[in-house]
């Protein structure tokens, strides 16, 4: 990941949950916004409790943030507030291993290099919590629609432009 990283070696974790507070700085938020194709990422924070388990680690807590996405209809900015409860299980997976997960294991994150990356997990949680198809409110869309051309108007404008670009258009004037 690299953009927002907090790697915690498993040997530093105990069976008793430890608190972790995270907040992305300006550079990290800009990098994540570019990675996730956001207009802006104004805030990304997490408060987690992390504990070691027999097969890895568990992290529970909250991820909060504020992102600005482009409306899928108009391209206008749409603000999304995220306040997501998170419950992750970190586990060691063998390379190429296919794992059949039960319903209660949908949020399993692989452990790589003997450490868990809380930052990457938090950033991915934010991404998954954002609307897949953000839409501006109807008042904004109505304003955009007033500026759009119908197909007939667009075709007529293209024809006018084509005729104006013709060398014979200058002679005609």
Whole-number CA gyration radius for the chain: 24
Judge contact between 32 and 70, C-beta under 8 A: no
For 164, the token pair is 């104006």
Bridge partners, 19 (sequence order): 49
pLDDT band at 166 (very low <50, low <70, confident <90, very high): confident
Q: Kindly state the DSSP code that residue 31 receives in the 8-state scheme.
A: H
Judge contact between 65 and 45, C-beta under 8 A: yes
Q: What is the mean pLDDT of residues 36-61?
A: 96
- Rounded Cα distance, 14 and 55, in Å: 13
Q: Does 55 score more than 90 pLDDT?
A: no
Q: Does 80 score more than 90 pLDDT?
A: yes
Q: What are phi and psi of 115, to 5 degrees?
A: -140, 155
Bridge partners, 117 (sequence order): 7
Closest by CA position to 18, among listed 55, 47, 41: 47
Interval 5-20: pLDDT, tens: 999 999 999 999 999 9
Alpha helices in the chain (DSSP H): 26-35, 118-129, 138-147, 151-165, 167-172
The region that residue 16 occupies, defined by phi over 0 for left and psi between -120 and 50 for alpha, beta otherwise, is beta
For 95, the token pair is 């390379």
Interval 108-141: pLDDT, tens: 888 888 999 999 999 999 999 999 999 877 776 6
Interval 35-46: pLDDT, tens: 999 999 999 999
Q: Does 96 score more than 70 pLDDT?
A: no
For 16, the token pair is 């008793």
Mean pLDDT of the residues in the chain: 86
Closest by CA position to 48, among listed 69, 4, 68, 18: 18
pLDDT band at 158 (very low <50, low <70, confident <90, very high): confident
Q: What is the mean pLDDT of residues 71-86?
A: 91
């Amino acid at each position: 990941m690299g953009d927002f990283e907090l790697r915690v070696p498993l040997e530093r974790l105990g069976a008793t949950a430890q608190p972790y507070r995270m907040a992305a700085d300006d550079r990290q938020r800009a990098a994540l916004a570019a990675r996730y194709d956001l207009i802006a990422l104004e805030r990304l924070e997490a408060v987690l409790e992390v504990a070691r388990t027999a097969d890895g680690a568990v992290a529970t807590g909250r991820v909060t943030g504020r992102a600005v996405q482009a409306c899928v209809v108009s391209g206008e900015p749409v603000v999304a507030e995220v306040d997501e409860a998170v419950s992750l299980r970190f586990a060691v997976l063998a390379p190429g291993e296919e794992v059949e997960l039960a319903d209660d294991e949908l949020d399993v994150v692989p452990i790589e290099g003997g450490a868990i990356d809380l930052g990457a997990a938090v950033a991915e949680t934010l991404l998954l919590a954002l609307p897949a198809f953000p839409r501006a409110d109807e008042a904004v869309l109505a304003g955009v629609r007033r500026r759009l051309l119908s197909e007939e108007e667009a075709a007529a404008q293209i024809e006018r432009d084509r005729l104006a670009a013709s060398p014979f258009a200058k002679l005609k004037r």
